[in-house]
């Protein structure tokens, strides 16, 4: 019975199959048969152009390539195009401004969504090793609030690409020609990124414990790997524009894509962006925590968001401290690649932007320190360090003033016209780099001291050599400050430029020694330390504004430095290879740049607000409306 049914079903199947094959065959063969009936029509004529008119008996006109222009391209097929001004489409608004805004927005969100998974993974790991579920929940929350950021990044990235292809067709054509299939790899990475992102985020609670947690951590690692690859690929475009490699002096490709990517500035930019992204991401999610902290009166929630804000600030400042060193490496490589480019950045018109940079970094350091000091009220053991904080604050403010004052405010219009893209002779001895180097290193050391005190504030050392350890630490700080001041003053003002520049490396080295010594001594000294109680949430409301100042200053700083990085190319699309002949090929005034940067910062602020709002939307649920009793009055 069963057998029969099967065979019956089988018979039906084969009949259906036969019918299908017949239909298929007929579908393919009928049209061709119909054409064959016509006889005269053959394939050759079907694909030939319809309207070719020629005299009877004459041979057909040969198709020739368009003359002169094509020929020139054959001689030098790969050289970079040199478009003239009329080759740049004009849409009525400055093309540069359009690309500026889109690129910066794309980079802001790109930086955010690259950084967040990175430290989320770290926090998740900490959660696994400590077994403390609070870490896991916080990591999950960080992911939640930045999830929309991935789409926003993609939206701005797509808009940027369209804008570039429309407004700078020759330039983009050249870039595509140079990088070729690499851009497709870039696109491919986005599939990986999205895949891992969604599995990582939505699988958080599904893969929460045991071996599955390790699957989840692996997913996070792969998410970060694809994100980082995306960043490295995109960085290679930017560094190729600054310091082209793998092409000859007219821009013809002579190397493979690896040689093109691996320009002299690629790795410095990679490192610098990697570190800065973490700081930036930490600062932005810190603002979220601060906002939630301020919006709630519930002590449990306040404790949670205080802790979240503290962690974010910790990430931001920790990433921020090594940033000047990465920046120093980048600048050194720029000088090594082209002294002219380096001086355009640090000694020409753009040098003035570093004053603004000083203000921003000063803001970041002061805000970070202020937050650390305010946070000491959480612990009972912080009284011991109150006196030192006054000294730190003093050092910070004095260094900050040295860093900022000398250049500004003393220039009349006549002096500006004298300036001509160079330093002014009135610049006092404080205006040149040595004084600033001293100031910035002292600020970093002071900030590290704040950080160290904060870490100590809830602990009492119990090891026998604690007094000696403290004495050694005092020695480290005092000697380091003396060394930094000596190096700056002696080499900066009494020797030649080469030694002046060299001595700043020694200054930075000194600062690094302080940080390393401080971390090592403290970690040894506070082993088995007595821990005093600390109270999360016990922090004044005003401290939270430091957590808003941080991302604002970070965002502004990032836009500013990105602008400097792009501007050192001056009037070149690709430095020394492809000239920028567009109407916007000049370096705008600082005020104009400031307006643009403020515009993108505010746009970013609004988009981030949207991102946070959407994140909170998913957690809220509208109450079902009560059925209305009675009619309308």
Partner 1 sequence: MNVLLKTLTFSLALTLLFTFVTYLLPQVKGEAPVEKNVDLGSLTMEDFIALGDDIFHNKGTCTLCHKPAPLGRAPDIEGENMVALAEERLADDRYNGEARDGEAYIRESMVDPGRYVVAGWGKKGSNDSESPMPHVDKPPIQLSPMEIDAVIAWLQSKDGNVVTVVLPDPEVAVEVASAASDGGDAGKVPAPAATAEEALARYACVSCHALDSRNVLVGPGLVDVGARLDKDELRQSILDPNADVAEGFPPAMPPDFASKMTVKELEMIIEYLAEKKG
Partner 2 sequence: MEAQKNIGILGRLLAVVIAIAIMLVVFYGLDHLIMGMQGLPLNPDLSPAG
CB of 403 to partner 2, least distance (A): 23
Q: Which is nearer to partner 1, 120 or 574 (CB)?
A: 574
Which tokens hold the place of 448? 């590290």
192 exposure class (CB count in 10 Å sphere: 0-12, 13-18, 19+): middle
Whether 503 contacts 488, CB under 8 Å = yes
Question: What CA–CA distance (Å, rounded) separates 53 from 310?
Answer: 81
- One residue of 73, 205, 295, 470 binding partner 1 per CB under 8 A: 295
Residue 463 as a binder of partner 2 (CB under 8 A): the answer is: yes
Find the binding residues for partner 1 in span 427-486 (CB under 8 A): 427, 432
Find the binding residues for partner 2 in span 94-123 (CB under 8 A): none
Residue 505 as a binder of partner 2 (CB under 8 A): the answer is: yes
Question: What CA–CA distance (Å, rounded) separates 183 from 172?
Answer: 12
Give the position of tokens 């990032």.
Answer: 558
Window contacting partner 1 (CB under 8 A); options: 34-42, 230-238, 260-268, 497-505 = 497-505
- One residue of 480, 578, 593, 611 binding partner 2 per CB under 8 A: 480
584-623 footprint of partner 1 as x/- string (CB under 8 A):
-xxxxxxx-xxx-xx--xx--x------------------
Residue 374 as a binder of partner 1 (CB under 8 A): the answer is: no
- Residues in contact with partner 1, counted by CB under 8 A, come to a total of 71
Find the binding residues for partner 1 in span 322-341 (CB under 8 A): 338-340
Residue 498 as a binder of partner 2 (CB under 8 A): the answer is: yes
Residue 580 as a binder of partner 1 (CB under 8 A): the answer is: yes
Find the binding residues for partner 2 in span 508-567 (CB under 8 A): 509-510, 513, 528
Work out what residue 224 binds among partner 2, partner 1, none; the CB cut-off runs from 5 to 8 Å by kind. Answer: none
Residue 6 as a binder of partner 1 (CB under 8 A): the answer is: no
- One residue of 73, 130, 495, 598 binding partner 2 per CB under 8 A: 495
Find the binding residues for partner 1 in span 223-262 (CB under 8 A): 249
Work out what residue 506 binds among partner 2, partner 1, none; the CB cut-off runs from 5 to 8 Å by kind. Answer: partner 2
Work out what residue 479 binds among partner 1, partner 2, none; the CB cut-off runs from 5 to 8 Å by kind. Answer: partner 2
DSSP designation for 31: H
183 exposure class (CB count in 10 Å sphere: 0-12, 13-18, 19+): middle
- Note the residue count of the chain: 633
C-alpha torsion 424→426→430→435, nearest 10: 30
Residue 490 as a binder of partner 1 (CB under 8 A): the answer is: no
Residue 609 as a binder of partner 2 (CB under 8 A): the answer is: no
DSSP characters over 423-489: --TT--TTTSHHHHHHHHHHHHHHHHHHHHHHHHTTEE--STTHHHHHHHHHHHHHHHHHHHHHHHH
Whether 267 contacts 236, CB under 8 Å = no
Work out what residue 464 binds among partner 2, partner 1, none; the CB cut-off runs from 5 to 8 Å by kind. Answer: partner 2
- One residue of 111, 364, 366, 549 binding partner 1 per CB under 8 A: 549
Whether 595 contacts 563, CB under 8 Å = no
- One residue of 177, 213, 301, 423 binding partner 1 per CB under 8 A: 423
CB of 128 to partner 2, least distance (A): 30
Sign of CA dihedral 254, 260, 262, 264: positive
Window contacting partner 2 (CB under 8 A); options: 38-46, 113-121, 415-423, 475-483 = 475-483
Which tokens hold the place of 610? 């949207």
Window contacting partner 2 (CB under 8 A); options: 88-96, 368-376, 435-443, 483-491 = 483-491
Alpha helices by DSSP H, listed for 76-209, are 95-130, 133-167, 169-179, 182-202
Which tokens hold the place of 428? 């006092």
Work out what residue 593 binds among partner 1, partner 2, none; the CB cut-off runs from 5 to 8 Å by kind. Answer: partner 1
Nearest to 324 by CA among 511, 111, 567, 556: 511
3-state secondary structure 294-359: HHCCCHHHHHHHHHHHHHHHHHHHHHHCCHHHHHHHHHHHHHHHCHHHHHHHHCCHHHHHHHHHHH
- One residue of 57, 60, 464, 591 binding partner 2 per CB under 8 A: 464
CB of 70 to partner 1, least distance (A): 15
- Residues in contact with partner 2, counted by CB under 8 A, come to a total of 32
Q: Provide the binding-site residues for partner 2, judged by CB under 8 A.
A: 462-468, 471-476, 478-480, 482-483, 487, 490, 495-496, 498-499, 502-503, 505-506, 509-510, 513, 528
């Amino acid at each position: 019975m069963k057998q029969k049914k099967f065979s019956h079903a089988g018979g039906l199947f084969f009949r259906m199959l036969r019918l299908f094959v017949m239909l298929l065959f007929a579908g393919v063969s009928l049209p061709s048969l119909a054409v064959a009936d016509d006889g005269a029509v053959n394939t050759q004529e079907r694909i030939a152009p319809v309207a070719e008119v020629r005299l009877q008996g004459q041979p057909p006109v040969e198709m020739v390539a368009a003359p002169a222009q094509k020929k020139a391209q054959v001689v030098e097929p790969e050289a970079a195009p040199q478009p003239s001004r009329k080759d740049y489409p004009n849409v009525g608004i400055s093309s540069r401004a359009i690309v500026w805004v889109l690129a910066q927005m794309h980079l802001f969100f790109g930086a955010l969504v690259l950084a967040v998974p990175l430290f989320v993974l770290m926090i998740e790991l900490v959660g696994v090793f400590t077994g403390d579920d609070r870490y896991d929940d916080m990591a999950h929350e960080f992911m939640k609030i930045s999830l929309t950021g991935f789409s926003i990044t993609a939206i701005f990235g797509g808009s940027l690409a369209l804008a570039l292809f429309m407004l700078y067709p020759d330039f983009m054509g050249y870039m595509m020609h140079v990088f070729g299939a690499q851009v497709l790899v870039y696109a491919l990475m986005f599939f990986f990124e999205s895949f891992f992102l969604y599995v990582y985020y939505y699988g958080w609670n599904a893969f929460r414990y045991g071996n599955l947690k390790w699957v989840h951590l692996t997913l996070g690692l792969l998410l970060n790997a694809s994100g980082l690859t995306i960043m490295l690929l995109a960085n290679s475009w930017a560094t190729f524009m600054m310091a082209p490699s793998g092409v000859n002096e007219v821009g013809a490709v002579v190397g493979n894509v690896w040689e093109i990517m691996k320009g002299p500035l690629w790795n410095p930019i990679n490192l610098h962006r990697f570190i800065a992204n973490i700081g930036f991401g930490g600062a932005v999610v810190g603002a979220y925590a601060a906002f939630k902290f301020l919006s709630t009166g519930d002590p449990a929630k306040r404790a949670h968001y205080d802790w979240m804000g503290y962690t974010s600030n910790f990430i931001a400042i920790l990433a921020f401290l090594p940033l000047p060193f990465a920046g120093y490496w980048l600048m050194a490589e720029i000088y090594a690649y082209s002294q002219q480019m380096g001086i355009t950045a640090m000694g020409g018109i753009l040098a003035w932007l570093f004053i603004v940079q000083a203000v921003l970094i000063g803001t970041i350091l002061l805000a970070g320190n202020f937050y650390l000091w305010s946070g000491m009220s959480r612990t009972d053991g912080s009284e011991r360090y109150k006196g030192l904080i006054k000294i730190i604050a003093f050092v910070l403010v004095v260094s900050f003033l040295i860093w900022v004052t000398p250049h500004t405010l003393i220039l009349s219009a006549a002096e500006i016209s004298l300036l001509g893209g160079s330093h002014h002779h009135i610049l006092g001895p404080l205006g040149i780099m040595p004084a600033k180097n001293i100031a910035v290193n002292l600020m970093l050391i002071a900030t590290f001291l704040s950080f160290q005190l904060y870490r100590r504030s809830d602990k009492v050392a119990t090891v026998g050599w604690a007094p000696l350890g403290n004495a050694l630490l005092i020695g480290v700080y005092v000697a380091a400050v003396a060394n930094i001041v000596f190096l700056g003053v002696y080499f900066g003002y009494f020797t030649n430029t080469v030694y002046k520049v060299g001595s700043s490396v020694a200054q930075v080295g000194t600062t690094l020694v302080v940080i390393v010594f401080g971390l090592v001594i403290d970690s040894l000294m506070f082993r088995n330390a007595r821990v005093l109680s600390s109270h999360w949430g016990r922090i004044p409301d005003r401290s939270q504004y430091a957590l808003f100042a941080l991302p604002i200053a970070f965002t502004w700083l990032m836009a500013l430095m990105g602008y400097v990085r792009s501007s050192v190319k001056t009037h070149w699309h690709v430095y020394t290879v492809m000239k920028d002949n567009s109407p916007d090929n000049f370096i705008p005034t600082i005020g104009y740049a400031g307006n643009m940067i403020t515009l993108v910062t505010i746009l970013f602020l609004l988009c981030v607000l949207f991102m946070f709002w959407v994140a909170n939307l998913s957690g809220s649920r509208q109450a079902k409306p009560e059925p209305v009793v009675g009619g309308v009055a």
